[in-house]
Amino acid sequence: MQRYSGKTVIVTGSSSGIGAASARRFASEGANVVLNARSKEDLEAIAADLDPERTMCVAGDISKSGFPEDLVARAVDHFGALDVLHANAGVAGGGPFAEASDEDIDSIIDINVKGSLRTARAAYPELKKSKGAIVFTSSVSGIRGDYEMVIYTASKGAVSLMTQSMALEWGADGIRVNAVSPSMTRTKMAGSLMDNPAIKDAFLRRAALKRFGEPEDVADVVAFLASDDARFVTGVNLPVDGGVSASNGQPNFPAYS
């Protein structure tokens, strides 16, 4: 299946986890893939397994004003167009909110919210030309609250709602905007949680499929939402959570994606 042959995809936060899996999935379907994260070395490690003729690394921080525009410009200069943005870059953090510092708030909001907004805004002119698609990585934590995760849930709640607003605003331009909301997925971000027996037990009791998510579980859904197979789908925030969001009424727990 080569749904992305000749198309160009930017994947932010693609040096590990869901972003890396997404980049690999798009590449396997023929896409030109632009990898982005803050670490050049980590990006190059992912790129080493991809076709060098169809892969580009652009290291940088999407939360910094001006960088998202540079990222898009370099992608278009190199490959000629932009068809898909997977706005995946994000950070997490938890703890009692009453003890949170301004730096704690800024570190999460700047990347998860401002970075996502700026990257989508930068991509808009090119996606309007290509009638392209945006897929945000939100989280089940953006659908309902989690214990000692106030800042993270606020940031992912914003991502979930900006998905709907952009879909409404940009639909007439032919741009579809959707989001995936993973639950606990086997990434660096969630690794410490999976090692916590209490959290592991709480998650597996709530998850209908009785296992943690894998990055590829999410990447496969991202590739669907960005493809022509989902051509009449926009404004959707799709849980990719093993059935966790169906477990209403049970205690919440930290659920980094």
Give residue 195's pLDDT: 67
3-state secondary structure of 52: helix
Catalytic residues: 152
pTM (2 d.p.): 0.92
Residues 6+ apart with CB under 8 A from 55: 27, 32, 33, 34, 35, 47
pLDDT at 191: 60
Q: What is the pLDDT of residue 192?
A: 64
pLDDT along the chain (257 residues), means of 10: 94 96 98 97 96 98 97 98 97 91 96 98 98 96 85 96 98 98 76 67 78 91 98 96 68 45
Which residue in 40, 26, 33 sits closest to 10, CA to CA?
A: 33
3-state secondary structure of 134: strand
What is residue 53's DSSP assignment?
A: G
Which CATH fold topology does 8-246 show? Rossmann fold (3.40.50)
Listed in sequence order, the residues at least 6 apart from 47 whose beta carbon sits closer than 8 Å to its beta carbon are 35, 55, 57
Per-residue pLDDT at 210: 81
Let me know the angle formed at the C-alpha of 179 by 175 and 180, rounded to the nearest 5 degrees: 145
Q: Rounded to an integer, what is the distance from CA 199 to the centroid of its chain?
A: 23
Contact, 188 vs 18, CB < 8 A? no
Q: What's the confidence (pLDDT) of residue 50?
A: 97
CA nearest neighbour of 185 among 166, 209, 163, 161: 209
* Bridge partners (DSSP) listed for residue 135: 86, 178
Contact 160, 141 (CB under 8 A): no
Query: CB count, 10 Å around CB of 130?
Result: 17
pLDDT at position 194 = 64
**Given this model, what pLDDT does residue 193 score?**
65
235: DSSP letter: S
Where are the domains positioned within the chain?
Answer: 8-246
The pLDDT score that the predictor gives to residue 204 is 76
**Maximal CA-CA distance, the chain:** 51
Compute φ and ψ for 252, nearest 5 degrees. -80, 165
CA distance 155 to 102: 14
How many distinct helices (H) and strands (E) make up the chain? Answer: 9, 7
